[in-house]
Amino acid sequence: MRLGSALSGLFLVLFLVVHLAGLLPAVIAPSQFELYATGLHHQQWLPVLEVSLAATAAIHLIFTVAKTLRNRRAGNAAALRSRRGRPLEALASRSKMAAGVITLGFLALHLQQLRWPRPSDGLEREVLQQVLLQPISLVVYAAGSLAIGLHLLHGAEAAHRNLGLLSPANGSSIRWGGRLLASGIGGGFLLISLGLALGGLA
């Protein structure tokens, strides 16, 4: 259960990194972004990837919920704040379920707005920008970005622990790496959303 949660989470993190890199040109190089988006969505292997991502997300959710329920039944009530001395990490651990629910809500809205149906070729950025000009959508996208960052803050350390890779010798490096990963991905999505929304107002 721990291994399945960790490996599925790492696969989803890889997707987030690739997705973030693909979105960056939407802010700084719109023409290149449209070429990239059009080429990507005409690839024959894309449906297979999408199904694989959906299955991985479902596996991660099931394993994470099962592990959380098992820990609660076992009486795991560790005082994370006092044990770690790191309030933000403790908050991330306590709120992992809430962050997951917010992320799922954001994902459902995102897919409904930009994948069902997908924008026509050459209009991906324009449609995304119009979505982000709606205040409610912008709030949801911002909340989703922050939830992803908070979830990653907890998940980076938890994944290494579940895989048996966390030790007193490397614990500090893994935690700092987790902070950088969480702030880079969560902050990156947030800045892209804000940048596109502000660009649409200009």
**pLDDT tens digit sequence for 5-24:** 888 888 999 999 999 999 99
End-to-end Cα separation, the chain, in angstroms:
49
Burial label for 39, CB within 10 Å (0-12, 13-18, 19+), is exposed
Distance CA 6, CA 10 (A): 6
Domain span including residue 75: 2-201
pLDDT recorded at residue 79: 45
pLDDT recorded at residue 166: 78
pLDDT recorded at residue 189: 97
pLDDT recorded at residue 82: 43
For 60, residues 6+ apart whose C-beta sits below 8 A from its C-beta are 4, 5, 8, 9, 12
Distance CA 60, CA 11 (A): 10
Work out the mean pLDDT of the chain and round it to a whole number. 87
pLDDT recorded at residue 75: 64
CATH number of the CATH domain containing 83: 1.20.1300.10
Number of domains in the chain: 1
Q: What backbone torsions phi and psi does residue 180 show, to the nearest 5 degrees?
A: -65, -40
Four-CA torsion 14, 15, 16, 18, nearest 10 degrees? 90
Whether 100 and 152 have beta carbons less than 8 Å apart is answered as no
Low-confidence ranges of the chain (pLDDT < 50): 78-83
